[in-house]
Chains A and B, each alone.
Chain A
Amino acid sequence: MSHFPYGVAAWLFLVGLYGIVTSRNLVHLVISLAVLQSSTYILLLGVGYRTGAVAPIFATIPPSTPAVDPVVQALVLTDIVVEVTVVALILALVVQVHKRHGTIDPDELRKLRD
């Protein structure tokens, strides 16, 4: 298989990291975090992909048919659940930050704290 998906994964990881580092808005920052996370989906699915293989459901096809790796699909599913939890939690914290300080700019928040 070509290395294209890995390139996309690396690109998403770096773009997400860049977004987090340069963010001026906490909601934008959380979305950048989600972009960073989505690179792991592509990486994992790319790892399990096999050219010409079918979905790993063996109810109607013979067990010897080449299929893509079901393990990574389970991992991605778990990964998505984890991400939803973390993103929801961080967004809830952002809402609280906005309630207390009236701003969601990380730089202004730092000034307020010092």
Chain B
Amino acid sequence: MNCESCGTDDVTPMAPLPVAIPLITAAILAGLRSVLPRRVSFWIALAAAAATLACCVDLLHASRGGTLVYWFGNWQPRHGVALAISFAVDPIGAGLATLVSLLAITGMIFASRYFDTVGTLFHTLLLAFMGAMCGFALTGDIFNLFVFFELMSAAAYALAGYKTEDPAPVQGALNFAITNTIGAYFVLVGIGLIYAHTGALNMAQIARTLDAEPASPLVIAAFTLIVSGFLVKAAIVPFHYWLADAHTVAPTPVCLLFSGVMVELGLYAAARVYWSIFAGTLGHASALRAMIVGAGCATALVGAGMCWSERNLKRLLAFLR
């Protein structure tokens, strides 16, 4: 990981735009939804998503040389202590944000044909979902990671249960919401423990504090809680039950984003937290690797097994992923 908490050289003003554009547009669309015609709001949402895509591509291009760091309010760290919230843009994060905005555009275009009447609220939710996922992929602050995680989840619950006139979506969304919310609280407790131990929320600064000492039981407990929380989102066995329910009932354009990127973001977050915070202090413990590989294999096997007994095409696809 590059020196996030001491970098003053590579500051990019583009970094917050992939979050700001969708969220501001979503707020405007929600506010004006009674006056704007449906076509107009569709085009506004599409333009916002396209602008986000352009920013993400630019960030991806710029981050090839190394991690870009953006400090909100230009509060640079003093004496190695980071006070402000930062965005740390590495090529993987920027690449995921690009994928998010690309899939969101595809989802919007698909939705305009998929629904008989696609409401403005759908675009608002989709934009909020997209902005939160971009922020989740780009942030360099661990509490910020939790906030974007919850924002993305809340938008996702609403999108999964979007077709409230049918009974099944509401139930699937409910399962999805409860399981993922519990996961999010696991993450939050882990973050609380880490903050208690290091007094920092910036990932690079936490890593620097932790690297200086051998791993204590508290750090291991925090790591376990955070990673389990994110693996719930990633639907790794034994946390996979919600996935088929949510994916089956969600409107297909939303499924595109769920399967395409949201679930992967859970895996990404687990990897990100490990590599940027805990890798130095926990080491590449072979037991840890065996556990993750084991869970991955179990997920693949259970997924394949469930496919065998499944008749619903969308459920089958859900297990396949």
Residues of chain A having any CB pair with chain B under 8 Å: 9, 13, 17, 20, 26, 29, 33, 36-37, 39-40, 43-44, 47, 71-72, 75, 78-79, 82, 85-86, 89-90, 93-94, 96-97, 100-101, 109, 113
Q: Name which of B44-52, B54-62, B170-178, B260-268 contacts chain A.
A: B170-178
Q: Give Cα A96 to B162, complex, Å.
A: 11
Across the interface, which residues of B come within 8 angstroms of A82, CB to CB? 147, 150-151, 154
- CB contacts under 8 Å to A, within B144-179, are 147, 150-151, 153-154, 157-158, 161, 164, 166-168, 170-171, 173-174, 177-178
B177 and A90 contact, CB distance less than 8 A: yes
Q: Is B294 an interface residue (CB 8 A)?
A: no
A43 and B192 contact, CB distance less than 8 A: yes
Q: Give Cα A110 to B11, complex, Å.
A: 52
Across the interface, which residues of B come within 8 angstroms of A37, CB to CB? 185
Q: Give Cα A44 to B154, complex, Å.
A: 22
Of B150, B174, B188, the most chain A CB neighbours within 10 A belong to B174
A93 and B173 contact, CB distance less than 8 A: yes
Dominant secondary structure at the B interface? helix
Across the interface, which residues of A come within 8 angstroms of B153, CB to CB? 86
Task: Annotate B218-261 by CB proximity to A: 1 below 8 A, 0 otherwise.
Answer: 00000000000000000000000000000000000000000000
Taking CB as reference atom, which chain B residue is nearest A96?
B170
Q: Give Cα A89 to B158, complex, Å.
A: 7
Q: Is B195 an interface residue (CB 8 A)?
A: yes
Q: Give Cα A75 to B167, complex, Å.
A: 37
Q: Is B196 an interface residue (CB 8 A)?
A: yes
B178 and A20 contact, CB distance less than 8 A: yes
Residues of chain B having any CB pair with chain A under 8 Å: 143, 147, 150-151, 153-154, 157-158, 161, 164, 166-168, 170-171, 173-174, 177-178, 181-182, 185, 188-189, 192-193, 195-196, 201
Across the interface, which residues of A come within 8 angstroms of B192, CB to CB? 40, 43-44, 47, 72, 75
Across the interface, which residues of B come within 8 angstroms of A93, CB to CB? 157, 161, 170, 173-174, 177
Distance (whole angstroms) from the CB of A20 to the closest CB of chain B: 7
Distance (whole angstroms) from the CB of B63 to the closest CB of chain A: 27
Taking CB as reference atom, which chain A residue is nearest B181?
A86
Across the interface, which residues of B come within 8 angstroms of A71, CB to CB? 195, 201
Given contact pairs A82-B151, A113-B171, a sample of 12 additional A-B residue pairs in the complex whose CB atoms are under 8 Å apart: A9-B189, A33-B181, A40-B189, A72-B192, A75-B143, A82-B154, A86-B150, A86-B154, A93-B170, A94-B174, A100-B166, A101-B167
Across the interface, which residues of B come within 8 angstroms of A47, CB to CB? 192, 195-196
A40 and B188 contact, CB distance less than 8 A: yes
Q: Can you sample 14 A-B contacts with CB below 8 Å?
A: A13-B189, A20-B178, A47-B192, A72-B192, A75-B143, A78-B147, A82-B151, A85-B154, A86-B154, A89-B177, A90-B157, A93-B173, A94-B174, A109-B171
Across the interface, which residues of B come within 8 angstroms of A90, CB to CB? 157, 174, 177-178, 181
Across the interface, which residues of A come within 8 angstroms of B164, CB to CB? 96
Across the interface, which residues of B come within 8 angstroms of A36, CB to CB? 182, 185
Top-4 shortest CB links A-B: A100-B167, A47-B196, A96-B170, A82-B150
Across the interface, which residues of A come within 8 angstroms of B189, CB to CB? 9, 13, 39-40, 43
Q: Give Cα A78 to B193, complex, Å.
A: 17
Q: Give Cα A13 to B147, complex, Å.
A: 20
